[in-house]
């Protein structure tokens, strides 16, 4: 079937079977391999993308459900010069990245939170990351990175 959607501001039409997931559509048909398949059952958040402004686990979304939607993947998150954006840089600076498997999903969860809440508490950040598992970092540095980004972005708006 034809599936049409906008991915990272680019309108795409994909011919794909109706029973594949959005994650497979992104990875296997659009070559966007940043979203990872960790568990494939909605438990780990490694496949997280933003769809129509909401954080979703793309392993739980059937590709036809994404027809007509706006999707942002980790490949669509970057600074104007193509390098890491402020949140990604803070993940690096605060030591929030180790093996990296969870990081695309963590960044998407962080961006989704900051779109909705410019001044999250540490508790709210932890809650926003509740669906994203990290086996490496202990989460502290990831929370630090998101908190620092929120402060920096608020500072720029003043």
Q: Report if residue 38 touches ligand FES, rule: CB under 6 A.
A: yes
Rounded CA-CA distance 157/41 in Å is 39
CB of 132 to ligand FES, least distance (A): 9
C-beta of 56 vs 150, nearer to ligand FES: 56
Is 62 a binder of ligand FES (CB under 6 A)?
no
* Element spanning 128, H or E: helix 122-128
Q: What tokens were used for 95?
A: 């030591």
Chain-centroid distance of CA 51 in Å reads: 10
**Smallest gap, in angstroms, from Cβ of residue 156 to ligand FES?**
28
Q: Is 28 in the site for ligand FES (CB under 6 A)?
A: no
How far apart are alpha carbons 22 and 158 in whole angstroms?
A: 38
Q: Is 137 in the site for ligand FES (CB under 6 A)?
A: yes
């Amino acid at each position: 079937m034809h599936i049409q959607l906008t991915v990272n501001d680019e309108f795409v039409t994909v011919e794909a079977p109706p029973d594949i997931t959005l994650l497979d559509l992104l990875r296997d048909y659009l070559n966007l391999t940043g979203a990872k398949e960790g568990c494939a059952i909605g438990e780990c958040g490694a496949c997280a993308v933003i769809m129509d402004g909401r954080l979703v686990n793309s392993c739980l979304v059937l590709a036809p459900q994404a027809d007509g939607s706006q999707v942002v993947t980790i490949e669509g998150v970057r600074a104007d010069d193509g390098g890491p954006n402020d949140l990604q840089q803070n993940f690096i600076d605060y030591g929030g990245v180790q093996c990296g498997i969870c990081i695309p999903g963590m960044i998407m969860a962080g961006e989704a939170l900051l779109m909705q809440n410019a001044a999250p508490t540490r508790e709210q950040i932890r809650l926003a990351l509740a669906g994203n598992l990290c086996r490496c970092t202990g989460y502290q540095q990831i929370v630090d990175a998101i908190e620092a980004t929120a402060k920096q972005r608020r500072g720029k708006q003043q």
